[in-house]
Chain A
Amino acid sequence: MDTTSIIISVTTIVLSLLALGTIFAVMYCLNKEVDKTNR
């Protein structure tokens, strides 16, 4: 693998993980209060 391929792969994986983390964090925060109120 050349340097460009490594940079693309690493950046893609890091950005994807960040996106997944953000999605789960936002959904957790949004639903926490709703679950508490509607229990």
Chain B
Amino acid sequence: MHVIPETWSHLHILVSLFPLVGLLFVLGFYAASIVTNNDGLKRICLMVIVGLGVLSIPTYISGMGSIMPVSEREGVTEGLINSHYNWSLYALLILVLAAAAAGYEWMRSQNTGRPSANAIHLVLGLSLITLFLMSAAGESGWEINHQELGLSPVPNAVSGLPSGSDIPEGQGTPQAWSHFHIILNHFPSIGLVIGLFFLIVSIVMDNDVMKRASLVLFTICGILGIPTYVTGASSMWALTDPPMESISQAAINAHRDMALWTLFGLAATGVSAWIELWRFRYLNRFSSRSIYFTLTSALITLALIAETGHRGGQINHPEIRVDPLPTDADAYLSPNIELLINNVQWFVPWQTLHFFGYCLIFGTVAAVVLRVFGVWKSMPFSAIHRILPLGVMGVVMNVFTGMLMLLADTFRYVNSNAFPPKMAFIVIGGCAVLYFSLSDKLWNTKAGEEAPMQAKWVAGITLLAWAGVIAGGRLIPYV
């Protein structure tokens, strides 16, 4: 099995992400438990924080075991290792304190029936400090293993980046893309693990708040799949154009193929989770069939993401390689899709569907925003809520068609000045859909009533975000 680590370095790469990215997601559940005052979810979160505290032991031991093999790599200095060691040590110590407080409160609440507010806030505070220190530890860790992040692209590529249509191959793509990819790719993978844990526990405990929070996390993972894939495509150019001696195009293509399947898996999981959140509003209960469908989809996607992560790790982590790297760069699906979609006979039809998707998204956004701003006040918000799936279908269509179009000419897309803001707007616009699905205040806005001010701000941001996506997409060939 590929994902079972055989070295300390490999174990460290896998386990050290949970006290960082895992803790962030657990704090999301923790915040949900505080907002909804759900004692069951609070106690499960306390237990998970204890679990993360226990993980600090293998994280520390595997980190110590990794020092020797990693320090042999070219460019790894004692200063880099010491910086990572110090940040990690402080972070793990605070995490152990947070876990001890969480464990004590968990045991105490067994007798009293509910956790105390003071203890809940103490654990939250310690966890937030841990998160801050862990971020610094993670960043210093990536500096050790990813020397390429410090490289500047070939002159003229960063300063005064020319327009996308003028960039000749060989000028270099900024390494900032690789940096973003290294950070982003851990969010859907660890998010799925945490989401699956909470979803399974929520089924066992029959806790609807926990089920909703898990479905929200799956939806977020689905949305994050888009920038993760796109930054991955950009990183490929940053690492191969101009070529680097230690980077294999065949290894990248092997990773890309699995990443494409993972993207579709994340989309399926995210959409099925969101649809269940949407249906819950009307039915006031979760359908077991839909919950189990989402669970199965998340499990399959987790398997895909594990293999994708493993193949991604092979690209630039020589210390964890056990098998020889692939050598035939043409033996994979992605380069063949690139060739196919580059043909105008395929590009134009898929681009047409991309425009259909935009129409669906913008039409839905316009209707929601008009009601929230008070233009269609005679309608309750619940009536407008009915059309949200149309917009989500538009997003799904455009993720599929957009990724195909991206594959037609990744170099030009990722080096256009209009592309990064477009990607950022997609994430903002996608997350806004969650607000319209989850806000109780907005859902309870009856006919003739004014929508809450908070909703108006979100509506304004959503409108601007999706307008920015459309404008950004159109500007790609020109700026």
Chain A: residues with CB nearer than 8 A to chain B? Answer: 4, 7-8, 11-12, 14-16, 19-20, 22-23, 26-27, 30-31, 33-34, 37-38
Are B345 and A15 in contact, with the CB atoms below 8 A?
no
Further pairs besides A4-B344, A12-B349: 9, Cβ < 8 Å: A4-B345, A8-B348, A15-B350, A16-B349, A22-B393, A23-B360, A30-B275, A33-B279, A37-B283
Known: A11-B345, A15-B352, A19-B356. A30 touches B389 (CB 8 A): yes
Among residues 346 to 374 in chain B, which have CB atoms less than 8 Å away from a CB atom of chain A?
346, 348-350, 352-353, 356, 360
Q: Which of B283, B345, B390 has the most CB of A within 10 A?
A: B345
Are A19 and B390 in contact, with the CB atoms below 8 A?
no
Are B356 and A34 in contact, with the CB atoms below 8 A?
no
Are A8 and B283 in contact, with the CB atoms below 8 A?
no
Q: Which residue from A4, A11, A22 sits with its C-beta under 8 Å from B349?
A: A11
CB proximity of A7 to chain B, nearest CB, Å: 5
**A31 to B83 Cα, complex, angstroms:** 56
Are A12 and B348 in contact, with the CB atoms below 8 A?
yes
**Residues of B close to A8: CB separation below 8 A:** 344-345, 348-349
**A22 to B390 Cα, complex, angstroms:** 11
**Residues of B close to A16: CB separation below 8 A:** 349, 352-353, 356
- B interface: dominant SS: helix
Are A37 and B282 in contact, with the CB atoms below 8 A?
yes
**A11 to B345 Cα, complex, angstroms:** 8
CB proximity of A30 to chain B, nearest CB, Å: 6
**Residues of A close to B389: CB separation below 8 A:** 26-27, 30
Are B386 and A31 in contact, with the CB atoms below 8 A?
yes
**Residues of B close to A12: CB separation below 8 A:** 348-349, 352
Instruction: Name which residue of chain A comes closest to B283, CB basis.
Output: A37
Chain B: residues with CB nearer than 8 A to chain A? Answer: 275, 278-279, 282-283, 344-346, 348-350, 352-353, 356, 360, 386, 389-390, 393, 397
**A12 to B349 Cα, complex, angstroms:** 4
Known: A12-B352, A34-B283. A26 touches B346 (CB 8 A): no
**Residues of B close to A22: CB separation below 8 A:** 393
**Residues of A close to B344: CB separation below 8 A:** 4, 8
**Residues of B close to A14: CB separation below 8 A:** 349
**Residues of B close to A34: CB separation below 8 A:** 279, 282-283, 386
Are A23 and B393 in contact, with the CB atoms below 8 A?
yes
Instruction: Name which residue of chain A comes closest to B346, CB basis.
Output: A11
**Residues of A close to B356: CB separation below 8 A:** 16, 19-20
CB proximity of A3 to chain B, nearest CB, Å: 10
**Residues of A close to B346: CB separation below 8 A:** 11
Known: A30-B275, A31-B386. A38 touches B353 (CB 8 A): no
A sample of 8 cross-chain residue pairs with beta-carbon separation below 8 angstroms, ordered by A number, consists of A4-B345, A15-B350, A27-B390, A33-B279, A34-B386, A37-B282, A37-B283, A38-B282
**A30 to B278 Cα, complex, angstroms:** 10
**A8 to B397 Cα, complex, angstroms:** 19
Q: Which residue from A4, A15, A23, A38 sits with its C-beta under 8 Å from B390?
A: A23
Q: Which of B282, B346, B349, B356 has the most CB of A within 10 A?
A: B349
**A12 to B356 Cα, complex, angstroms:** 12
Are B345 and A7 in contact, with the CB atoms below 8 A?
yes
**Residues of A close to B345: CB separation below 8 A:** 4, 7-8, 11
CB proximity of A38 to chain B, nearest CB, Å: 6
CB proximity of B397 to chain A, nearest CB, Å: 7
**Residues of A close to B350: CB separation below 8 A:** 15
**Residues of A close to B386: CB separation below 8 A:** 31, 34
**Residues of A close to B275: CB separation below 8 A:** 30
**A10 to B105 Cα, complex, angstroms:** 66
Q: Which residue from B278, B349, B393 sits with its C-beta under 8 Å from A15?
A: B349
**A31 to B279 Cα, complex, angstroms:** 9
**A34 to B348 Cα, complex, angstroms:** 37
Instruction: Please name the 4 residue pairs, one residue from A and one from B, whose CB atoms are nearest each other, closest first.
Output: A11-B349, A12-B349, A34-B282, A15-B349
CB proximity of B94 to chain A, nearest CB, Å: 46
Are B349 and A33 in contact, with the CB atoms below 8 A?
no
**Residues of B close to A7: CB separation below 8 A:** 345
**A37 to B275 Cα, complex, angstroms:** 16
**Residues of A close to B352: CB separation below 8 A:** 12, 15-16
**A8 to B347 Cα, complex, angstroms:** 9
Q: Which residue from B279, B348, B360 sits with its C-beta under 8 Å from A30?
A: B279
**A31 to B278 Cα, complex, angstroms:** 11
**A12 to B390 Cα, complex, angstroms:** 21
